[in-house]
Amino acid sequence: MSAPASLRAPAPLRALRRPLGAVAGFWLALVVLAAVFAPVLSPYGYDIQALKEAYQPPSAAHWLGTDEFGRDLLTRLIFGARTSLSVSATAIAVSVFCGMVLGAAAAWFGGWFDRAVTVVADLTWSFPEILIALILVAIIGPGTLGTMIAISVAYLAQFTRLTRAQILTLKGETFIEAARSLGASNGHILFRHLLPNALAPVLVSAMLATGDAIILEATLGFFGLGAQPPVPSWGGMMSAGSALVFKAPWVILFPGLTVAITVVAINLYGDALIAALDIRSRLRRAA
Amino acid sequence: MTHSFRKTLLSASVSLAAMLAAQAATAQEAVFVMAGNEVGAPTYNPIKATMLNTATGLIFDRLVSQAADLSYHPWLAESWEEAADGMSWTFHLKQGVTFHNGEPFNAEAVKAWIELFKTTEGENAYMAEAIASVEVVDDQTVKFVMSRPEPNLLYNLSSTFMSVVEPKSFAALGDDFGVTEVYGTGPFKLESFSIGQETVLVRNDDYTWGPQLATNHGPAKIARATFREIPEDSTAFLELKTGGVDMLLSVPPDLTGEIEKEANLAVVTLPGADVWYMPINVTKAPFDDIRVREAAAKAINQEEILASVFGGVGSTADTFLISALPESHVSDGAKIHYDPERANALLDEAGWVMGADGVRAKDGQPLKVTLWTQSDSIFRRLTEVVQAQLKAVGIEAEITTFDSSMIRDQYKTGEQQLAVRSYNWDNADIVDWFFGGDRLGYPNVSMFNDPKAEELRTAAMTGAKNMDERIANFTAYHEYVLSQFPMAPIYQPVQAMAYNKDRISVPEKIDAPSFGSAMFMDLEVKE
């Protein structure tokens, strides 16, 4: 056994010691910083049209060129990071929270409640996320809020199942039995012992799901169902660029590359994190 | 391993040879891509449908055909006379014409077909409304007895909605007519139809009665025509470029340049019948105030849109009608042009004060409105420019994008404030269609219902005894509608089509207002 956990650096930092984890972590930090400081970093306004300067290829004035309205593509990409990251991360956070509550309650109480939750979770899990999201957006209506709700519901089953499986295995451990025999209440055992121990795998899988959610957000944006113009989102930019792929290929190329690199980076960093936490076996058991 | 690989190679080359042989045997085949705005037409039933696609015009013939200059020419009717008082029309029908199912086309068939408009439920009944009864004079002559003069009768008879259907099968098939089976007298028969995907037509070999405007009167040169429905223009272009299809029936302006760059592709254009416009819902605040409507309408910079969104191809629109129509010649004051000073002055006058953030406000309420559009890329692009132009006078418009097939149902809710849309029609009665007080929601997206307009509308639709009167009445109705600003005109495109020069030869002169029989009869596949 290596050094006690309390003496080691936190896992997210340890993940950076692996070369792939470091590269991925660097890119993710860059994207997050760009999103946070978008108004400071951006050289132009994201909705300022200059129709006479439309379709300009990358140049010194416009590093990534301009789109069909003469808007600076770099600016829109930076602001698009805001939309894509905030929508995906918020949606996954909501999904994780609800999934953990549902999954923990199902595993803890068992009985008919467990069966009901499992059946519903399995049922929604048998549909591809994109299908659930599309149906929900059609019902709620297009826009950022609709996309967020759709994504969080689409991933709910995953976190419910994962948490439930974690709690079920932990429930039989000796330390829980010990706590119970010491007279700990249900709530105490659940919130102080079970959930903290189940947290790590759920958070890592939430991180990986965020990568998928970025793709899902981009897909919905591509269909015109995500953030509504002029607010940029990576998917929306790719959708506009798809009509210009012959005339101005950079309009679709840069957002496409950004989505691809970001999602790969999230996965690599997530892998590094799994290795650092040494929880691969626990994740496999849950899935 | 090697052995089985060789066998695979051998069988592959054999099947390739078979495919090539099959292709040579059926060379007069061509694949077309339907115009984007025709995608999803649910039926080939002209009497019931509110939307028909191009293939409709090849399955059916009409009594009258229309030339590029909008003049009328014989087709299934060889000649006609109108009574001096406009109360009856006599049509002399072509001899030897039969429907696809073998039934004869004659005076009885025409009578039965016109009567279908009275007995079939649907939006198109108005087209035959003025015909009180049909008299069979002899086998090849019919007389339409009118309930009132209808100067627009020839136009109606030349429209695809008055395609001559075979009345017996129409009655027998019910709602299946136009979906599973369909019978007309046209140059092509329906082989298969899957809604939203493709329609396959095969040549009617008996056809000899093509419209006078075509050089070839029949049968058609192409034996088998497939019409595919591809909603996204750039996908359709890729299919054309890679040889998957032979002709696109509509090409957006931003792709014409790309097509001209390709050595084997060519663009052919016809005058346009489309108008792009921004309907304004007159019942929704703040647009219940005519000053705000006028301001929004005059914030639209048509010249800038023509240059930037449509690459200078086509022309700006300043009325609701295409400029080829005489009814579009309203007084100069009634035409709607970009006028930012006027727009700003009107908004000031209406109490909307410009705020520091560039958005006007009144009583603490910002001037925020919704702007609906459909998901096709060209609509979204135009809508974003419109959004920026409205912002320039202090109106903040929030865009909502709907799927093209869903948006009509959304309009029926009446919740829209502004929208960007287009229509395709080359008759002034489109003003009645989109602004008639009895069609609120959709087609009347503007929810416009004005007593004076309704009066002028009745006069225009039913009050004219001859064409000159009809034009005058419609011009007055159109001009009044414009003065109420239920919409802002934006743009009139030309109809651009693209084809593969190695595969298809297109007639040099196309004398038709749109792609249809007259043009199709002369199309040829190169061998």
B27 close to B19: Cβ distance less than 8 angstroms: no
Tokens of A12: 């997210």
- Distance (Å, whole) CA A162 – CA A156: 10
What pLDDT, on the 0 to 100 scale, is given for residue A29?
94
When mean pLDDT is compared across B386-395, B494-503, B512-521, the lowest value belongs to: B512-521
Strands, sheet with B360-362, edge to edge from the N-terminal-most edge strand: B353-354, B360-362, B365-366
Type of residue numbered B124: N
- Distance (Å, whole) CA B156 – CA B103: 24
Mean pLDDT taken over chain B: 90
Inform me whether the C-beta atom of residue B410 falls under 8 Å from chain A C-beta atoms.
no
Q: Is the pLDDT of residue A77 over 90?
A: yes
Rounded to an integer, the average pLDDT of B278-291 is 96
State pLDDT tens for residues A236-261.
899 888 878 888 899 999 999 999 99
Report the range out of A199-208, B27-36, B275-284, B368-377 with the highest average pLDDT.
B275-284
Q: Which residues contact A33 (CB under 8 A, 6 or more apart)?
A: none
Mutation for testing the B interface, residue in A46, A71, A244, A252 having most B CBs under 10 Å: A244
Tokens of A176: 């829980």
pLDDT classification of A184: cutoffs 50, 70, 90: confident
The helix (H) or strand (E) run that includes residue B490 is strand B487-492
Please judge whether A228 and B400 are an interchain contact, meaning their C-beta atoms are less than 8 angstroms apart. yes
- Distance (Å, whole) CA B318 – CA B333: 11
What pLDDT, on the 0 to 100 scale, is given for residue B96?
93
Domain boundaries, chain A: 16-34+64-286
Residue B470, CA distances (Å) to B57, B87, B427, B450 in order = 27, 15, 11, 21
Please judge whether B380 and A47 are an interchain contact, meaning their C-beta atoms are less than 8 angstroms apart. no
Rounded to an integer, the average pLDDT of B380-392 is 94
What pLDDT, on the 0 to 100 scale, is given for residue B205?
94
In the three-class reduction of DSSP (H, G, I as helix; E, B as strand; rest coil), residue B424 is classed as strand
Whether cis (ω within 30° of 0) applies to the bond prior to B340 is no
Query: Which of A68, A142, A242 lies at the smallest CB-CB distance from B234?
Result: A242
Buried b (16+ CB within 10 A) or exposed e, B40-54: ebbbbbbbbbeebbb
B251 close to B238: Cβ distance less than 8 angstroms: no
Kindly tell me the sign of the dihedral angle through the C-alpha atoms of B147, B148, B152, B154.
Answer: positive
Higher per-residue pLDDT: B27 or A178: A178
- Distance (Å, whole) CA A54 – CA B28: 43
Rounded to an integer, the average pLDDT of A10-26 is 86
Residue of B nearest to A241 (CA): B377
| ipTM score of complex | 0.70
What pLDDT, on the 0 to 100 scale, is given for residue B378?
85
Inform me whether the C-beta atom of residue B377 falls under 8 Å from chain A C-beta atoms.
yes
Q: Is the pLDDT of residue A3 over 50?
A: no
Q: Is the pLDDT of residue A2 over 60?
A: no
Residue of B nearest to A144 (CA): B400
State pLDDT tens for residues B63-114.
999 988 888 999 999 999 999 999 999 999 999 999 999 999 999 999 999 9
Say which CATH architecture domain A16-34+64-286 belongs to.
Answer: Orthogonal Bundle (1.10)
Rounded to an integer, the average pLDDT of B110-129 is 90
Mutation for testing the B interface, residue in A228, A231, A251 having most B CBs under 10 Å: A228
Q: Is the pLDDT of residue B385 over 90?
A: yes
Mutation for testing the B interface, residue in A46, A49, A139, A223 having most B CBs under 10 Å: A49
What pLDDT, on the 0 to 100 scale, is given for residue A281?
67
The one-character DSSP state at B121 is -
The helix (H) or strand (E) run that includes residue B488 is strand B487-492
Q: Is the pLDDT of residue B22 over 50?
A: no
Query: Which of A52, A69, A247 lies at the smallest CB-CB distance from B254?
Result: A247
Mean pLDDT taken over chain A: 88
Task: Provide the CA A206 distance to its chain's centre, in angstroms.
Answer: 7
- Distance (Å, whole) CA A225 – CA A216: 11
- Residue from B207, B215, B248 nearest B231 by CA: B248
Please judge whether B399 and A143 are an interchain contact, meaning their C-beta atoms are less than 8 angstroms apart. no
Whether cis (ω within 30° of 0) applies to the bond prior to B104 is no
Please judge whether B255 and A246 are an interchain contact, meaning their C-beta atoms are less than 8 angstroms apart. yes
pLDDT classification of B202: cutoffs 50, 70, 90: very high
State pLDDT tens for residues B444-496.
999 999 999 999 999 999 999 899 999 999 999 999 999 999 999 999 998 89
